[in-house]
Amino acid sequence: MNAQFDITNLKIQTQRLILRPWEYTDLDDLYEYASVDGVGQRAGWLPHKSKEESRQILEKFIKNKKTFAIEYNKKVIGSLGVEYYREDEHPFLADLKGRELGYVLSKDHWGKGIMPEAVKAVTDYLFKVEKLDFIIISYYEWNRQSARVAEKCGLKPIKNTVHETRFGTKEPTVCTIIFNK
């Protein structure tokens, strides 16, 4: 089952990163990375066409209280959402508490180990503090960067599905999981 989660007043710090709730002052940083071609498509959404579109997403991040801003050197360079997973796709998890992580990172910071660092920190928090039983990460088969993040963080494939993106394509998807030990 999907566990309750709220990031209000939560800040997780790693060696290089601060994971924190989004603020209205993050708008320019969000638009800067979310408007770049090739970033959002890996997560199922198209590049933001305007700062107004980014503002609307930012308001959802703030209102829903489940998406971290990833701050590096005092600049937001990505997001990490503690999302609801599809319970109907994973009936064997019905008696366990968990969530699904979704993430995106500025193209300028790919390949630097930033996202595995962020995912490990949030997973540790969710297991140790929130006492979740499992975490799921799903990624498109062709998205090798997201696959590497899941692998580096210890998640193992459990099933293949097809996911419909927000722009109408159907993408073969790998679902991975890690259990709290």
Report the pLDDT value the prediction gives residue 168, as an integer from 0 to 100: 78
Which pLDDT tens digit goes with each residue over 66-107?
Answer: 999 999 999 999 999 999 999 999 999 999 999 999 999 999
CA distance 119 to 98: 15
Which residue is it, tokens 């490990």? 120
* pLDDT band (50, 70, 90) for residue 165: confident
What is this structure's pTM?
Answer: 0.92
Q: Does 167 map to a domain?
A: no
Range of the domain at 48: 12-137
* Residue 126 pLDDT grade (very low, low, confident, very high; cuts 50, 70, 90): very high
Mean pLDDT of the chain: 93
- Domain-located, residue 176: no
Q: Is residue 181 part of a domain?
A: no
Considering the domain boundaries, does residue 53 fall inside one? yes
Residue 98 lies in a domain: yes
| Mean pLDDT, range 147-158, rounded to an integer | 96
Sign of CA dihedral 107, 108, 112, 115: negative
Residue 155: inside a domain = no
What is d(CA 100, CA 161) in angstroms, rounded to the nearest whole number?
A: 15
Token pair, residue 72, equals: 């590096």
Q: Is it the case that residue 147 has pLDDT exceeding 90?
A: yes
16-49, pLDDT tens digit by residue? 999 999 999 999 999 999 998 877 767 777 789 9
| CA quadruple 76, 100, 127, 21: dihedral sign | positive
pLDDT at 32: 94
On the question of pLDDT at 175 being above 90, the answer is: yes
The CATH number covering residue 67 comes to 3.40.630.30
**Total structural domains within the chain:** 1
